[in-house]
Amino acid sequence: MTDLLIIGGGIMGLWAGVMAERAGLRTLIVERKAIGAGASGGMLGALMPHMPDRWSAKKQFQFDALVSLETEIATLGAATGLSAGYRRCGRLMPLAKPHLRTIALRHEQDAIVNWRAGDRQFHWHVCDRPPAEGWLDSAFAESGIVFDTLAARVAPRPFLAMLSIYLRRSKHIRIEEGRDLVHIDPIAGRADFANGSTVAFGDCIIANGVDAFPFLDGLAGPPGSSGTGVKGQAALLKADIDPSLPVVFTDGLYIVPHENGMVAVGSTSENTFDAPFSTDEQLDALLARARDLVPRIRNAPIIERWAGVRPKAIGRDPMAGRHPDHQRIHALTGGFKISFGIAHRLASAVIDEICGETDDALPASFRCRAHFDLLVSEKAKAPQ
């Protein structure tokens, strides 16, 4: 018996454990394989903000999360003595056409208004030259460069290791790996596992990435799928670069400097695929683009190639909160490309809900009920 059962040992599940520890909930985290074995175990780690224009509750939530994550990581680092490879390095975006510079100049003013946290002001600068020689080929930035000072990066695997060590040392949390969930009884509050064991729980958070959707859908909800998986491919290169250099981003391509001269390049977004965990020519094409864009990595050897499947909920936004049909069951998935930047805030909102509190900052479109309402709506529109 446990107060809280968390299914999944990725970034969402581990942050849920941290927030449960703070709330004093006796918690069991169960992972099918090993911590970070799913989409969280990649290497990109880009923490990118939304555009500063057309401000909304959703953008405010992500902004607040990106700002507060810096303090959260510092707290965990002090407690464990470990590094998450975090740095607020900023982001460079080349402007290839004159009209893009015009738009960027408007966003520069939007950031002055919207990217403010207390006495901290983050910027969306429009510049004419890159900050370091050889880091961004000026041929791709004929109309200038955007440098935003809000973006950051983290090393996903060291970050997960930090969270795991923190939780294993905590008073209320237990982590069990190699335990595969096969069935949940939401009424009785019971989870059955492939090894024949059973866990009784007060509440259960389903946080196992793309695998969360079939479990949530199977709990007497509307027919159909509340989410799907999107394959991503990335690579890790070894280059002689300064780790303080900014992330480079353009047209879905990320080039992320990490510590010890490592550079991560990614990622593809494949809605259809046959081999979810294999890399192919799409990654080769991505690497070719990256080497053209950034001269300093043109001769950098590839250390590792990676592929995984990221969860995307039906409403495209993350999915968090109580299942509409079952009070004991809570979703925490669907972060897709922004999970690492907002997982701590999503987890906090879910734990608040379990403890009988309401997180008013959580956007309505993020709530589990909103996604299932959309599923019902789409089912009604479908031809019979």
Domains, the chain, ranges and CATH?
2-42+157-226+315-381 (3.50.50.60), 88-150+229-313 (3.30.9.10)
Give the C-alpha separation, 41 to 340, whole Å: 11
List beta partners, residue 238: 262
Residue with tokens 């094409």: 285
Cβ count near 301 (within 10 Å)? 8
Cβ count near 62 (within 10 Å)? 21
Which of 244, 297, 264 lies closest to 137, judged by CA?
297
Three-state SS at 198 = strand
List beta partners, residue 152: 47
Which of 50, 144, 49, 54 lies closest to 99, judged by CA?
144
pTM over 0.85: yes
Q: Which two tokens stand for residue 61?
A: 């939530």
Q: Which two tokens stand for residue 111?
A: 């950031």
pLDDT at residue 222 in the model = 66
pLDDT at residue 221 in the model = 64
Which of 223, 205, 204 lies closest to 214, judged by CA?
223
Tens of pLDDT along the chain (384 residues) come to 999 999 999 999 999 999 999 999 999 999 999 999 999 999 999 999 999 999 999 999 999 999 999 999 999 999 999 999 999 999 999 999 999 999 999 999 999 999 999 999 999 999 998 877 789 998 999 999 999 999 999 999 999 999 999 999 999 999 999 999 999 999 999 999 999 999 999 999 999 999 999 999 998 666 779 999 999 999 999 998 999 999 999 999 999 999 999 999 999 999 999 999 999 999 999 999 999 999 999 999 999 999 999 999 999 999 999 999 999 999 999 999 999 999 999 999 999 999 999 899 999 999 999 999 998 887 777 665
Amino acid at 174: R
Give the C-alpha separation, 118 to 56, whole Å: 18
**Contact by Cβ (8 Å): 45, 340:** yes
